[in-house]
């Protein structure tokens, strides 16, 4: 028996869960079974979890208790997804005003603070406990299964966590993961990544669409045509030309997934390859609503609103994630899964910045830096010439503006030392016509 076969044994993984005070494998087994439940059974389960969530939240979280009192909401009348229009929509800014004391609660699980801006360009801190994170991590495994991957098979993954630490290194070992930075996508680094994939006979790639696209393009340039089994993408927009390039070069299907750094895994594309997104219904309620918070008909575009059914340390109820999308007109997929279906996620617009020395900076290069500066309310990056970036900044009131030099230094060190960076302080950054702010834009082609 090989090392990975031994480590990936269900009994071994459950011991690891126990030692780390998590329940990843418990929830993985549950979600793997629940995806085949009937729609009626899934809706019944959602309703039970929703009622328990509202009861817990109104008792233990001052922000929601005051909010529902202000709007005159009787939560006892909210029993299913069809009743949720009665609850007000909550934004990041709403939660920021009372974080952490007003919008969090104590749980029996270890808690960690995460910083995220996703693709919205709006830095945000959130508390996530081990129970909520266990559910999210279980769904990360399930979404990878949708590509054909099975636990223990070698994976090449790109990401933004440069310091892996003991726990992450153990995770990489257990799941046979070769982890690489998506900060550096220069030709030399991409060649190094392709060598690893070739030498280790890796058949699955996972990471941000921009980094997978860059890797596929470099493989084409150096005439390397590995026949992979699957690619899983997450984090920002999978453009159609990204998908076509990746699938053509690597001879496999791309499985796109949707989630957020607030500890919610939302959906993943069907294993049948129809590009529709199965919503992880036992974990999250997804609504598509207009600007007034009222659900729109299936097939129409609207704002994506999320409700995580596990209250966790920081409940997220009718949470406006900042993306737009549409539900599929058909409620059931031919694959037999009972999960509801997102037709398309139309937000998360971004561009790739190309630097003087050949690096390629994807959207998460910038969010991976700016999310650690809570003094900044919003930002936008624009590239008009390859050697120069113009960065608009909206500061929080009374923020220390000397942090700009630290940000400049990080971009130069991690991105390209020969970039010229111009900061421009502004009072506001307007959203686009579709309600989504494109905050990384490039006119360099």
Q: Note whether residue 40 is domain-resident.
A: no
pLDDT at 411 exceeding the cut of 50: yes
Q: Note whether residue 416 is domain-resident.
A: yes
Q: Tell me, what CATH number does 315's domain have?
A: 3.40.50.12780
Mean pLDDT across the stretch 313-323?
94
Q: What's the confidence (pLDDT) of residue 429?
A: 87
Q: 117: pLDDT confidence band, cut at 50, 70 and 90?
A: low
Percent of the chain with pLDDT over 70: 91
> Of 436 and 20, which is predicted with more confidence?
20
Q: Note whether residue 163 is domain-resident.
A: yes
Q: 435: pLDDT confidence band, cut at 50, 70 and 90?
A: very low
Q: Note whether residue 178 is domain-resident.
A: yes
Residues 323, 388, single domain; the answer is no
Omega into 100 within 30° of 0, i.e. cis? yes
Which residue range is the domain that position 224 belongs to? 148-252
Mean pLDDT across the stretch 127-136?
97
Residues 153, 209, single domain; the answer is yes
Q: 345: pLDDT confidence band, cut at 50, 70 and 90?
A: confident
Mean pLDDT across the stretch 9-21?
79
Whole-number CA gyration radius for the chain = 22
Residues 170, 118, single domain; the answer is no
Torsion of CA 34, 35, 39, 43, to 10 degrees: 50
Q: What's the confidence (pLDDT) of residue 150?
A: 93
Q: What's the confidence (pLDDT) of residue 162?
A: 64
What mean pLDDT, rounded, does the chain reach? 90
Helices 39-60, 62-70: inter-axial angle, 10-degree rounding: 100
Considering 286, 311, 345, which residue would you say is the last residue of a domain? 345
Considering 289, 310, 345, which residue would you say is the last residue of a domain? 345
What are residue 148's phi and psi, to 5 degrees? Answer: 105, -10
Q: Note whether residue 39 is domain-resident.
A: no
Residues 339, 247, single domain; the answer is no
Mean pLDDT across the stretch 226-249?
93
Q: Tell me, what CATH number does 189's domain have?
A: 3.40.50.980
User: How do beta strands 353-354 and 360-361 pair?
Assistant: antiparallel
- Separation of alpha carbons 442 and 365, rounded Å: 14
Q: 431: pLDDT confidence band, cut at 50, 70 and 90?
A: low
Residues 157, 248, single domain; the answer is yes
Cβ within 8 Å of residue 278, ≥6 positions away: 35, 146, 267, 268, 269, 270, 333, 337, 339, 340, 341
Considering 328, 345, 362, which residue would you say is the last residue of a domain? 345
3-state secondary structure the chain: CCHHHHHCCHHHHHHHHHHCCCCHHHHHHHHHHHCCCCHHHHHHHHHHHHHHHHHHHHHHCHHHHHHHHHCCCCHHHCCCHHHHHHCCCECHHHHHCCCCCCCCCCCCCCEEEEEECCCCCCCEEEEEEHHHHHHHHHHHHHHHHCCCCCCCCCEEEEECCCCCHHHHHHHHHHCCEEEEECCCCCHHHHHHHHHHHHHCCCCEEEECHHHHHHHHHHHHHCCCCCCCCEEEECCCCCCHHHHHHHHHHHCCCEEEEEEECCCEEEEEECCCCCCCEEECCCCEEEEEECCCCCECCCCCCEEEEEEECCCCCCCCCCEEEEEEEEECCCCCCCCCCCCCEEEEECCCCCCCEECCCCCEECHHHHHHHHCCCCCEEEEEEEEEECCEEEEEEEECCCCCCCHHHHHHHHHHHHCCCCCEEEEEECCCCCCCCCCCCCCEEECCC
Residues 284, 198, single domain; the answer is no
- The 10s digit of each residue's pLDDT in 16-54 is 788 889 999 999 999 999 999 999 999 999 999 999 999
Q: What's the confidence (pLDDT) of residue 434?
A: 42
At 170, list the tokens: 């153990």
pLDDT at 311 exceeding the cut of 90: yes
pLDDT at 349 exceeding the cut of 50: no
Q: Note whether residue 138 is domain-resident.
A: no
pLDDT at 316 exceeding the cut of 90: yes
- The 10s digit of each residue's pLDDT in 289-304 is 998 999 999 999 888 9
Structural domain total, the chain: 3
Cβ within 8 Å of residue 258, ≥6 positions away: 234, 266, 267, 268, 277, 342, 345
Residues 217, 283, single domain; the answer is no
Q: Tell me, what CATH number does 414's domain have?
A: 3.30.300.30
- Any idea what the Cα angle at residue 341 is, between residues 147 and 208, rounded to 5°? 45
Q: 159: pLDDT confidence band, cut at 50, 70 and 90?
A: confident
Residue whose C-alpha is closest to residue 306's, from 256, 273, 342, 270: 342
Give the largest CA-CA distance in the chain: 64
At 360, list the tokens: 């390629």
Residue whose C-alpha is closest to residue 331's, from 30, 42, 33: 42
User: How do beta strands 284-289 and 277-279 pair?
Assistant: unpaired
Residues 117, 209, single domain; the answer is no
Residues 358, 300, single domain; the answer is no
- Separation of alpha carbons 279 and 304, rounded Å: 12
Mean pLDDT across the stretch 330-350?
85
Q: What's the confidence (pLDDT) of residue 166?
A: 66
Q: Note whether residue 4 is domain-resident.
A: no
Indicate the range of 81-90, 363-372, 393-402 predicted with least confidence. 363-372
User: How do beta strands 264-269 and 277-279 pair?
Assistant: antiparallel
Q: Note whether residue 20 is domain-resident.
A: no
Residues 157, 120, single domain; the answer is no
Residues 188, 220, single domain; the answer is yes
Mean pLDDT across the stretch 319-336?
92
Residues 154, 218, single domain; the answer is yes
Q: What's the confidence (pLDDT) of residue 163?
A: 66
Q: pTM for the complete prediction?
A: 0.86
Q: How far is CA 335 from the centre of its chain?
A: 25
- The 10s digit of each residue's pLDDT in 253-279 is 999 999 988 999 999 999 998 999 999
């Amino acid at each position: 028996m090989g090392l990975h076969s031994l480590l990936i044994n269900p009994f071994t993984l459950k011991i690891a869960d126990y030692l780390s005070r998590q329940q990843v494998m418990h929830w993985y087994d549950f979600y793997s079974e629940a995806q085949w439940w009937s729609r009626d059974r899934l809706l019944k389960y959602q309703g039970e979890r929703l009622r328990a969530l509202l009861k817990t939240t109104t008792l233990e979280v001052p922000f929601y208790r005051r909010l529902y009192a202000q709007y005159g909401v009787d939560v006892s009348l909210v029993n299913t997804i069809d009743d949720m229009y009665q609850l007000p929509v909550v934004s990041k800014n709403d939660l920021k005003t009372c974080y952490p004391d007003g919008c969090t609660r104590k749980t029996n699980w270890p808690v960690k603070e995460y910083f995220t801006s996703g693709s919205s360009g709006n830095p945000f801190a959130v508390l996530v406990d081990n129970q909520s994170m266990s559910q999210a991590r279980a769904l990360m495994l399930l979404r990878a299964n949708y590509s054909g991957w099975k636990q223990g098979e070698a994976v090449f993954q790109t990401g933004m966590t440069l310091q892996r630490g003991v726990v992450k290194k153990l995770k990489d070992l257990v799941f046979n993961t070769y982890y690489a930075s998506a900060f550096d996508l220069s030709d030399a680094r991409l060649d190094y990544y392709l060598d690893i994939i070739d030498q280790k006979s890796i058949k699955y790639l996972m990471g941000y669409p921009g980094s997978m696209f860059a890797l596929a393009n470099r493989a084409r340039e150096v005439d390397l045509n590995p026949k992979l089994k699957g690619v899983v993408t997450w984090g920002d927009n999978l453009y159609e030309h990204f998908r076509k390039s990746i699938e053509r070069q690597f001879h496999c299907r791309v499985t796109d997934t949707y989630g957020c750094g607030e500890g919610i895994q939302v959906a993943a594309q069907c294993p049948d390859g129809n590009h529709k997104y199965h919503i992880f219904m036992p974990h999250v309620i997804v609504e598509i609503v207009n600007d007034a918070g009222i659900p729109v008909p299936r097939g129409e575009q609207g704002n994506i609103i999320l409700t995580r059914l596990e209250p966790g340390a920081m409940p997220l109820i009718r949470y406006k994630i900042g993306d737009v999308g549409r539900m599929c007109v058909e409620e059931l997929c031919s694959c037999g899964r009972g999960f509801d279906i997102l037709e398309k996620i139309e937000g998360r617009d971004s561009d790739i910045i190309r630097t003087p020395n050949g690096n390629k900076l994807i959207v998460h290069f910038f969010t991976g830096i700016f999310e650690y500066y809570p003094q900044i309310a919003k930002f936008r990056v624009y590239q008009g010439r390859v050697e120069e970036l113009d960065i608009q900044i909206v500061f929080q009131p009374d923020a220390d503006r000397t942090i700009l030099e630290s940000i400049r230094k990080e971009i130069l060190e991690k991105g390209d030392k020969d970039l010229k960076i111009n900061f421009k302080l502004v009072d506001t950054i307007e959203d686009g016509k579709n309600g989504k702010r494109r905050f990384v834009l490039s006119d360099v082609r």
